[in-house]
Structures are given as C-alpha cells and as structure tokens.
C-alpha cells in the first residue's frame, strides 16, 4: 500500500502512514499528544491542527469540520476527519504538547526490593573443577553477605562467566527481594536506579529514583498516546472490543510511551533495576495486554485484584531485562492501582479524623473514612474537568485560562493564564472558577441557567447589565471571558450554556457519590478534604465549594496532595513494606458501585443545582 510522510510541528515528529489514514492516526503513530476527547468520532472538535503544507493531499472538509471550524480559520482541520493522500506538514497547538503532573517529595524508610552487594569470587582451580561459576557466586554471597537460597535469572547466567573473568572476580550482584540475582556487573558499578510510573488515562508520569539514597532524581511525563482512541476509559474499552487488534495497538502505544520516557532519563536501560506501576483498572489491563471488556458492563469485573510481579522483558519495557515490574493491587473494576497508590500515600486508615480524598482525573475516585474503615467509589467526572465538553476547553498548558474572577458589580472578568501567554482556551480549574463567578455575580441562577433578562438594555440605576452576556450566531446564550483582541486564536473565548451544564453534570456526580458514601457510613460531617491528582492541585477550593462540587467543610481543612497516586508508586519503590501495606489496605476497602445504588438518581438530581438543593 502507498505510504505518505506526515510531519508534526513544532516538535518535528514525523511518521510514514498508509494512504487513506487519518491525521489523528498519524499523530498516534508519531507519538504526538493530540487531543481527541471523543476518540475520533468527530463530535468534540478538540483535535484541531493547522495545515502548513499539503492541503491538497487531504480529503475535503466534512460536516463535522464545518460545525467546529469557521470559514475565516484558514488552514485549520480536524485531525480525525481528514484523510491523507499525499505528504503533509501540520502544526499542533502547543496546549496539546504539554501536561503538568508532579509528585510531592516523599519521606520513607529505605527498604527497596533491589539491593546491590559487592562480592569477591575466588578464582577457579583444578581442585574444584566440578563447581560451576554460578555455584561459586552463590557460595560467595552466602559467606560474605548471609544471602542463601538465591536463584539466578537465566539472562544473567548467559553472561555470567564473561562478567566474572573481566572483573577478575570483583563483582557486584543486584539481588531482588533477597531471592534472585537479576544483575551481575563489575564492582565499579554505579547507583541502583528505579522508576515509578503512573499510567493515567490522559497523562503518563514517571519518577526516576536512586534506590540507594532515597532521592527522586527526575520527574518526566508524556501524553498517553491512547488518547487518540478517546480520552475516557469507556472509549478505550470500546476500541479494544470493536477494533481488530485494538488491545494490541493500545498496549503497544503505552509500551512505546514508557520506553520513550525511559530514553529521556539518559540512562542505560540496564541500570534501571526496579519499576513500580499505578494506574486505573482499564489502563492496568491494557498495559498487561488483558482484555478489559469485563470492566465495561455490570458487574464490572476485573481480571485480577492482587498485586503482580512481571519481568520487564515480558512486557517489552526497556529497563534491565531481568528486572521485575511491580503493579500495585486493584480493588474493583473502577478502583484501581492508582487508588492503592493514593491509599498508601495519604493513609486515611490511620487517621482519627473523617477524611474525604478525591482523586480528580479523567475518572473521579473517592475514598472516605478513618481508622475504623475506608469506603471507595468511582464516578464519571473527568470529561468536563479535563476540558472536554467545554466549547473552548483545553488542557492545563500554556495559553489556558486557569483562574477566573468576575466582579459582582461590573460583571467584568479578571483572568490568569498559564505561561503569561495570550488566551487559547480554558482548562478545568478555570471553568470551575468561571461557573462559580457567574453564579456569584447573578449571571446564572441556581439551576445553572444563563439569565437572558440580563440581555435587556439596562436602566440608569441598574449595574447588572453587561455586554459580555450575549446570544451567539445560533441564538444561544454565552458569556465572553476574553474578547478576540486578547486571545491567541483570533476568536472570542466564551462560556456557553452547554459548558455550564457540563460542569453541573460532573460536579453533581462527584457530590452525589460523596453523599452516598457518607450515608453508608452514617457520617454527618467531614473533617478534612484532600484533593489528589494533577487537576486537584489547581482547583480553587472556594470555587469548588461555591458550585457544590464538594460537601461542606471548613476551607482551611481542604488541601491538595498533588499526584498522590504517583507518590504511592514512589513509596512502593523505596520500601517493600509499602507494597504489602497497599495490598492489605486495598483488600479492606468497602467499595460501593454508586451507579447501581437506588438513591443515586435522587442525590444526583438534587446536586445539579448550584450549589445544590
């Protein structure tokens, strides 16, 4: 089949793609993080690119493109809609190339799974010809370090004799869990490195660690390339079920993404001797190549709850080929290893106060409890908070409006934009601020309706009128956050009635889920709220309370924990006891499937009001 070259600026990534493939498929092959919230079905309008060369090599504009792209926006295309019939160069908006996700510094007693031991191997002689080098290594480790009963990975065995001879018997053995030798090298070897990885639905974050010192050396991240198939877990399940080889494609994408991050560390892959992984259950199954379809329908059954140890070479991950990858346990179909990471990082089971932990990502996980027990639930909150379903939504990147204040008298907004750039759209924290500000300013009512009476010409004494509240070309109400002269897109950035409704749906699901857990626990109040996840770190807690996204709690008792799931992966890398703790406490979780609870619908409808009924 004829192939064409596609180049993606400004990254300079390129790929060869089959005739008739879409630009979105080309972006996934080139490893370019390109937004596609709807999974390429042409209904979100987020995968916009600018064609720099080769417009004639693309198929014509579709109805979906005409809906999202104005005639004046010359050169813009939806990557999921246009097919490639020649060489093309396109430019990807910067916001689709950047993500923010970082772990906090951790404090933990060092007890890693992999330790290095220097050992002196006696040279062979004619008197012990019946003893092989493997046996002499085992004897030396037992005599010099008290390590007995060890096994030796086969890949280490293959290079054993050369290593010992070249090092003249002075070698360093890397031993996993006090049970298996996974590397043998000359004693001049350097540090033992480990990698903690958080495979998110949208973002993959990795933390390079020194297992000997307990230091987190570097934080790296990349957009999950599976986003080309949809930015929520259900779309990934659908792709695996309906596309021939879909599961294999997505497993390969996440493998290549992690290997790309490993290359960015600058280390020789063999130097990374251990790896821990946290992820939601769907990402867990895809990473392991397990069919996730059982999670997609009631009773939402996942393949395995227990933690796993898998050789890196079995999964094609380019760390030391003899190293193990530890995947933390999953409690249920939608409470995965990422929640296990949050558990060990924040430890609600060891607290006297009643604490609510919300990991706000593409999917929202809720943990509620204290030392007497912890309940868990999952709800679909992500699409709006990640920028999906929002007319001018985007990820938290340069040009995103991340803070909004609306003057209650003048109705004029003040904006804070990431990177001090011209506004290109609004991210999750910004849309929450905007809805809260519109409510406080009386521009939307408690039902979330934009108040059309504000469009009437103002009376002399009436300061409530604002030109920013208007009807769009189709007669739908919207509020202008930024005029086109202030933006980097040349178009006004607005908050629409549909945007407000999307936020209401997301926050209502989260609030209703929390209320149901409180009811199950007989809990009347919450002492502390912790917002976890990259997005949770940037939410304005006053705005979240104002729209009813969170239950009542003193603002000073609401805090952000950053990427607590990633922190849990780091803790498990540095201390094997944390792995045991994660397994033990995850098994104790009392999970509630809130969508099946008979009271959910009433709670959800009541929570649709602002702040809530």
Q: 214-228, 246-260, 401-415, 572-586 — which is least confidently predicted?
A: 214-228
CA dist list (Å): 175 to 112, 114, 145, 194, 326: 10, 5, 11, 13, 15
Q: Which of residues 38 and 147 earns the better pLDDT score?
A: 147
Task: Give, for 61, the enclosing helix (H) or strand (E).
Answer: none
Dist CA 595 CA 612 (whole Å): 19
For the record, the structure tokens of 522 come out as: 């007989």
| Fold (topology level) of 114-186 | Ubiquitin-like (UB roll) (3.10.20)
- The confidence score (pLDDT) of residue 68 equals 81
- For strand 76-78 and strand 48-53, is the pairing parallel, antiparallel, or unpaired? antiparallel
Dist CA 525 CA 130 (whole Å): 72
Task: Give, for 356, the enclosing helix (H) or strand (E).
Answer: strand 355-360
At residue 133, the 3 state secondary structure works out as helix
At residue 242, the 3 state secondary structure works out as helix
Cα dihedral sign, 20-22-23-29: negative
Task: Give, for 608, the enclosing helix (H) or strand (E).
Answer: none
Q: What is the CATH number of domain 3-92?
A: 3.10.20.30
- The confidence score (pLDDT) of residue 97 equals 44
Residues 338-355, mean pLDDT to the nearest whole number: 94
pLDDT tens string 423-432: 999 988 999 9
Angle at alpha carbon of residue 545, lines to 103 and 353, rounded to 5°: 65
Percentage of the chain lying above the pLDDT 70 cut: 91
Per-residue pLDDT band for 303 (boundaries 50, 70, 90) equals very high
- For strand 400-406 and strand 425-426, is the pairing parallel, antiparallel, or unpaired? parallel
Residue closest to 578 by CA, chosen among 350, 345, 364: 345
- The confidence score (pLDDT) of residue 36 equals 62
pLDDT tens string 156-186: 999 999 999 988 889 999 999 999 999 999 9
Instruction: State yes or no: pLDDT of 401 exceeds 90.
Output: yes
Give the N- to C-terminal CA distance of the chain in Å, as an integer.
60
Instruction: State yes or no: pLDDT of 531 exceeds 80.
Output: yes
Residue closest to 493 by CA, chosen among 484, 501, 506, 505: 484
Give yes or no for a contact between 365 and 335, defined as CB atoms under 8 angstroms apart.
yes
Q: To the nearest whole number, what is the mean pLDDT of the chain? A: 87
Residues β-bridged to residue 413: 406
- The confidence score (pLDDT) of residue 489 equals 85
DSSP state of 276: E
Q: 410-414, 533-537, 562-566 — which is least confidently predicted?
A: 533-537
Domain boundaries, the chain: 3-92, 114-186, 194-327, 339-372+511-607, 384-502
Residues 51-68, mean pLDDT to the nearest whole number: 88
Instruction: State yes or no: pLDDT of 311 exceeds 90.
Output: yes
Token match 């497993």: residue?
251
Per-residue pLDDT band for 418 (boundaries 50, 70, 90) equals confident
Residues β-bridged to residue 609: none
Angle at alpha carbon of residue 533, lines to 571 and 288, rounded to 5°: 65
Instruction: State yes or no: pLDDT of 208 exceeds 90.
Output: yes
Domains 114-186 and 194-327 equal at CATH topology level: no
Residues β-bridged to residue 415: 404
Residues 296-303, mean pLDDT to the nearest whole number: 87
Instruction: State yes or no: pLDDT of 459 exceeds 70.
Output: no
* Per-residue three-class SS string for 165-213: HHCCCEEEEEEECCCEEEEEEECCCCCCEEEEEEECCCEEEEEEEECCC
pLDDT tens string 89-136: 888 865 444 344 555 456 789 999 999 999 999 887 777 776 889 999
pLDDT tens string 463-478: 446 789 999 888 899 9
Is the preceding omega at residue 10 within 30 degrees of 0, hence cis?
A: yes
Per-residue pLDDT band for 233 (boundaries 50, 70, 90) equals confident
Contacts of 205 (CB under 8 A, 6+ apart): 101, 102, 103, 197, 198, 219, 220, 221, 534, 563, 566
Residues β-bridged to residue 368: 356, 375
- Most confident range (mean pLDDT) of 387-391, 517-521, 581-585 is 581-585
Residues β-bridged to residue 222: 204
- The confidence score (pLDDT) of residue 341 equals 95
Dist CA 431 CA 528 (whole Å): 24
- The confidence score (pLDDT) of residue 38 equals 63
Q: 228-232, 266-270, 527-531, 533-537 — which is least confidently predicted?
A: 533-537
Q: Which of residues 212 and 385 earns the better pLDDT score?
A: 212
Q: Which of residues 198 and 598 earns the better pLDDT score?
A: 198
Q: What number of residues does the chain have?
A: 613
Dist CA 207 CA 272 (whole Å): 12
Residue closest to 152 by CA, chosen among 324, 326, 322: 322
Dist CA 182 CA 180 (whole Å): 6
Residue closest to 335 by CA, chosen among 371, 299, 381, 282: 282
Percentage of the chain lying above the pLDDT 90 cut: 55
Question: Cα Rg for the chain, rounded, in angstroms?
Answer: 27
Residues β-bridged to residue 120: 170
Domain 194-327, CATH class in plain words: alpha beta
Per-residue pLDDT band for 383 (boundaries 50, 70, 90) equals low
* Per-residue three-class SS string for 500-543: HHHHHHHHHHHHHHHHHHHHHHCCCCCCEEEEEHHHHCCCCHHH
pLDDT tens string 476-529: 999 999 999 989 888 999 999 999 999 999 899 899 999 999 988 888 889 999
Residues 73-94, mean pLDDT to the nearest whole number: 84
Give yes or no for a contact between 294 and 320, defined as CB atoms under 8 angstroms apart.
no
Instruction: State yes or no: pLDDT of 450 exceeds 60.
Output: yes
């Amino acid at each position: 089949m004829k192939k064409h070259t596609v180049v993606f600026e400004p990254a300079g990534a390129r790929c060869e793609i089959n005739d008739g493939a879409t630009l979105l498929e080309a972006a996934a092959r080139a490893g370019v993080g390109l937004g596609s919230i709807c999974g390429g079905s042409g209904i979100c309008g987020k995968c916009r690119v600018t064609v720099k060369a080769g417009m004639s090599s693309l198929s014509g504009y579709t109805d979906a493109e005409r809906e999202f792209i104005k005639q004046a926006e010359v050169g813009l295309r939806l990557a999921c809609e246009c097919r490639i019939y020649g060489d093309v160069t396109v430019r990807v908006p910067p916001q689709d190339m950047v993500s923010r996700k970082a772990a906090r510094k951790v404090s933990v007693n060092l007890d890693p799974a992999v330790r290095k031991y220097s050992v002196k191997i006696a040279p062979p002689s004619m008197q012990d010809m019946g003893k092989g080098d493997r046996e002499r290594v085992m004897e030396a480790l037992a005599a010099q370090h008290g390590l007995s009963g060890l096994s030796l990975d086969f890949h280490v065995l293959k290079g054993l004799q050369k290593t010992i001879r070249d090092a003249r018997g002075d070698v360093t053995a890397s031993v996993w869990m006090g049970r298996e030798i996974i590397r043998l090298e000359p004693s001049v070897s350097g540090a033992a490195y480990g990698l903690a990885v958080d495979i998110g639905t949208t973002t993959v974050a990795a933390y390079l660690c020194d297992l000997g010192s307990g230091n987190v050396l570097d934080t790296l991240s990349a957009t999950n390339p599976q986003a080309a198939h949809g930015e929520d877990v259900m779309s990934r399940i659908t792709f695996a079920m309906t596309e021939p080889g879909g599961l294999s494609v997505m497993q390969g994408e996440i493998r290549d993404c992690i290997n790309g991050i490993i290359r960015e560390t600058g280390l020789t892959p063999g130097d990374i001797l251990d790896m821990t992984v946290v992820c939601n259950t769907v990402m867990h199954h895809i990473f392991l190549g397990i069919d996730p379809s059982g999670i997609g329908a009631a009773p939402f059954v996942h393949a395995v709850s227990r933690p796993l140890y898998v050789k890196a070479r079995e999964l094609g991950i380019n760390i030391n080929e003899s190293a193990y990858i530890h995947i933390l346990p999953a409690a249920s179909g939608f409470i995965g290893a990422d929640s296990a990471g949050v558990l060990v990082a924040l430890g609600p089971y060891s607290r006297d106060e009643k604490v609510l932990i919300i990991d706000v990502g593409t999917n929202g996980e809720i943990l509620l409890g204290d030392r007497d027990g912890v309940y868990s639930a999952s709800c679909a909150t992500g699409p709006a908070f990640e920028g999906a379903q929002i007319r001018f939504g985007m990820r938290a990147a340069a040009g995103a409006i991340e803070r909004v204040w609306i003057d209650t008298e003048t109705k004029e907004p003040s904006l804070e934009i990431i990177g001090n750039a011209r506004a290109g759209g609004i991210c999750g924290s910004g849309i929450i601020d905007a809805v809260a500000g519109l409510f406080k300013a009386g521009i939307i009512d408690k039902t979330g309706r934009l108040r059309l009476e504000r469009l009437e010409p103002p009376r002399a004494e009436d300061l409530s009128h604002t030109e920013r509240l208007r009807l769009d070309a189709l007669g739908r109400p919207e509020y202008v956050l930024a005029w086109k002269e202030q933006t980097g897109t040349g178009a006004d950035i607005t908050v629409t009635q549909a945007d407000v409704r999307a936020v209401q749906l997301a926050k209502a699901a989260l609030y209703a889920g929390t209320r149901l857990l409180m009811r199950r626990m007989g809990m009347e109040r919450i002492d502390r709220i912790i917002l976890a996840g990259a997005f949770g770190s940037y939410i304005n807690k006053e705005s979240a309370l104002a729209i009813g996204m969170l239950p009542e709690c003193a603002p000073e008792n609401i805090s952000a924990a950053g990427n607590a799931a990633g922190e849990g992966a780091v803790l498990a890398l540095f201390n094997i006891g944390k792995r045991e703790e994660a397994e033990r406490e995850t098994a104790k979780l009392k999970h509630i499937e809130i969508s099946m609870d008979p009271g959910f619908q009433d709670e959800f409808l009541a929570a649709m009001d602002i702040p809530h009924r």
